Amino acid sequence: MAGLAQLKFAMGTGIFITAFIFAAFLALVLFIIQVIVAPLTLDFDVILLVALPLLFILFQYAIGPSIVKMSTHLRYLKPGENPWLESTVKELADKSKVPMPRLAVVPDNTPNAFVFGRTAHTATLAVHEGLLQNLNEDEVKGVIGHELGHIKHKDYAIMTLLSALPLVAYLVARGTMSAAWLSGRSSRERDQGGIEAALIIIAVLSFVVYFISQLSVMRLSRLREHYSDAYSAYVTGSPRSLESALAKITYGLSLSPKPPSGARAFYISDPVQAKQEIHEIMDKKEDYDLDHDGVLNEKELELAMEKEAKSMWKTVNTWFSTHPPTFKRIMLLHEVEQEMQSGKYTDDRVYAHV
């Protein structure tokens, strides 16, 4: 698929920007240490400062899958336990030319699904019991196509590594701010004051880098969701299946009283964002219910989506989200569906609407 080059370029650009910001931040921190801190103390190990972030990133990459397993309480399926799910995943995995992932079920009544792992050969596709219970087979198939898109695009590995960078910057900020506070309390001598000032500068820079790099990672996360939505439409041949699935998932998640799992960034839809979206739509229900029958039909929902998509507040708010708004995802799939129905849709246009 020629369109995959566009995704690789977008991913590569996002990774480069985030890594460049972090590398520049690390270089600046080292410069401050060498100019201010090093002449005043011999206790600061520069090599350790460089090594610790790298070790932390590798550590998160290594233990990430174990954390997801423990936090979601998933159970791996035995061969033959769910023949339809196994055959459907196998069919779409073969079409996608990716290894068959391990299948797992999460004992949770909310409709959701996610993939995780270190490589395509060790990936796990997990579905919530609520997904299998509340969605029909076509809708579940659309969700599976989306999750296989993540495997094909290697999103799980890329996002696990990238998300460690803002976290490292945040930990440096908290650590240096605490160290500056302790340094200020312990002594007010000239040398100690210089170290305190240097630590405060590093802390402020760290918070700025954390904020910027976090926005960059979130943007990349939203982009990968759009690409996987488009891929699902391609591999299943039915954009409508995922459109319907996303609507049901968002509504179902909005009704859940349970707090979201720590793995929410991996999900096909973020429970916190789903609650907010449904709440905002319902607040404006009278504005969108044109025939005043108390129910928003498909045409009225489409109108609501178009208006919501033009909102500047919505646009700014999405900068701080790991997932695009559901209405934008459905609109993208609707565009793909219209192109498929026109007969102009070809393999090289898989990501044309992203």
Instruction: Give me the residue spans of the domains in the chain.
Output: 4-349
pTM of the model: 0.82
pLDDT in tens, 70-98: 888 999 999 999 999 999 999 999 999 99
Catalytic residue selected from 81, 91, 137, 147: 147
What is the mean predicted confidence (pLDDT) over 174-199? 66
Active site residue 147: yes
CA terminus-to-terminus distance, the chain: 15
Output the average pLDDT for the chain: 80
Quick one: pLDDT at residue 194? 66
Phi, psi at 228, each rounded to 5°: -70, -35
Q: Which two tokens stand for residue 302?
A: 């489409």
With a cut of 90, say whether residue 346 has pLDDT above it: no
Q: Say which residue, 61 or 203, is predicted with more confidence.
A: 203
pLDDT band at 248; cut points 50, 70, 90: confident
pLDDT in tens, 170-184: 888 887 787 777 666
pLDDT in tens, 276-302: 777 777 777 777 777 777 766 656 666
